Amino acid sequence: MRSILVLFLVMSLFACSSGEDMALLHREITDVQRSVEELSSATADQQDLRRMEERMQQLTDQNMRSNADLAMQVESLQERMEALHSSLELTTRRLQEISQELSAARARSLATIPPVIVASADDPMANPEATNPGAGYTAPAATGITSDMPPEQLYRSAYEDYMRGNFDLAAQGFQEYIRRFPDTDLTDNALYWVGECYDAQELTAEALEIFTQVLADYANSDKAAAAQLKMGLLYLKSGDQGQGVVNLQYVVYEHPGTQEADLAREKLRSLGLNIR
């Protein structure tokens, strides 16, 4: 382009002889230069515009891909939440069924095990027939607790009140057992069932206090795992998930192989915590 411009100037110089013609030629050359500059600037602007359009298209494509990925992640999360909710409902129902089965099993065991033998010579349970659970044993009335009632009969009476739903009477019966017989093999059981009575009456704080006492006073009791499990469930029920999880984990690690450990593990899984 510039070579053509120079040739044009040389030819024009030879063709023009007057000063006026030279001035006109100079203006034409200036106009041509301005046109060339404008054309070059327009070309650069068009290239910049094309680059901007390409960049905008890239950003648009990237944004569309990101939105698609986000939508898939949200959908996946919703599916996982629905599955977790279903699992939690199943676990809750299973826990309720197991709790009912445990209560029924305890009731059957209490109805069949022989009464506790007291080493007193004048104790009526020292009769050899007392070793036979079906030998003339009559269950006491729910409210028939008397001061001379032997320990096994007092315990049975309190437990039968519990099974009938008379939780306040049952708690009184178990507490009376603990007061009168603080050192028998069933004292820790009686204390545990006081906690169950409070829990059945929605007295969460009182129930937690009793189960804590079971663990403090009878750390090696066969009720220790059950008391720890109940504490975990009660803390969760009261909204304290941190304490609930700690107590459930303690059941799993400190009482492996027990049914309580299995229940604690299932509850933890329902909360999204996998415990081996």
Instruction: Look up the pTM and report it.
Output: 0.49
Taking the C-alpha atoms of residue 59 and residue 148, their distance in angstroms, rounded to an integer, is: 89
Angle separating helix axes 19-112 and 2-15, nearest 10 degrees: 170
User: Alpha helices of 113-150 — where are they, by DSSP H?
Assistant: none
The predicted-structure confidence for 195-227, as pLDDT tens digits, reads as follows: 999 999 999 999 999 999 999 999 899 999 999
DSSP 192-227: HHHHHHHHHTT-HHHHHHHHHHHHHH-TTSTTHHHH
Nearest C-alpha neighbor of 266 from the set 250, 252, 255, 254: 252
Q: What is the chain's mean pLDDT, rounded?
A: 75
CB 206 within 8 A of CB 191: no
Q: 55 burial class (0-12, 13-18, 19+ CB within 10 angstroms)?
A: exposed
- Class for the domain spanning 119-270: mainly alpha
Q: Which residue has the tokens 């509850």?
A: 267
Please give the single-letter amino acid code of residue 240.
D
Q: What is the CA radius of gyration of the chain?
A: 45
Q: Tell me the mean pLDDT in the region 142-163.
A: 81
- Higher pLDDT: 176 or 22? It is 176
Residue 240 has pLDDT above 50, yes or no: yes
Q: Which residue has the tokens 């009182």?
A: 206
- Higher pLDDT: 227 or 123? It is 227
pLDDT confidence of residue 180: 94
The predicted-structure confidence for 242-262, as pLDDT tens digits, reads as follows: 999 999 999 999 999 999 999
Residue 45 has pLDDT above 60, yes or no: yes
Confidence of residue 266 (pLDDT cuts 50, 70, 90): very high
